[in-house]
Amino acid sequence: MPWAKDGGSPYIEAVIQDARQKAQRAGSRFFFTWNVNEFVLWETFPAKTAQKDRSYKSWKVTQLHKPEHLEIPSTIHALKSWLETFLSDFANIYLGTTPLGTQLPDEKFLQILESSLRLRNRRR
């Protein structure tokens, strides 16, 4: 969750590596990191892969700042709507009809930076 110590951003390296290791052990082609506000689907990559070489796609899901926000009807609606979109997108990614992670290095950098800035702004 965004208010948890390691939940501020789905781009936190320790969280990514933990999820990647679990996916690799399971033989999964994909894994994800998610803090409810933003969901990132990653293609499982070797341990030493540089951040700029990682394939991923991210979705903005909602904007929660407190645990109580999970119970708001508009939040529940946003999550359900996003889930439908994600499942459709993931089916296309899995089937290979839509590529995963074609962002340029500067686009990736900006996504990570913006995700971190959203975290900072919420904590003020």
Residue 83 confidence (pLDDT) above 90: yes
What's the token pair of residue 70? 């999970």
Average pLDDT along the chain: 84
Confidence class for position 27, pLDDT limits 50, 70, 90: very high
Q: Does residue 32 carry a pLDDT above 50?
A: yes
Predicted structure pTM score:
0.81
Tokens linked to 95: 């089937």
Q: Are 54 and 41 in contact (CB under 8 A)?
A: no
The DSSP line for 2-68 is TTSTT-S-TT-HHHHHHHHHHHHHHT-SEEEEE-SSEEEEEE---TT--GGG--EEEEE-----SGG
Domain locations along the chain: 13-123
pLDDT, average across residues 86-106: 86
What pLDDT, on a 0 to 100 scale, did the predictor assign at position 121? 52
What pLDDT sits at residue 124? Answer: 47
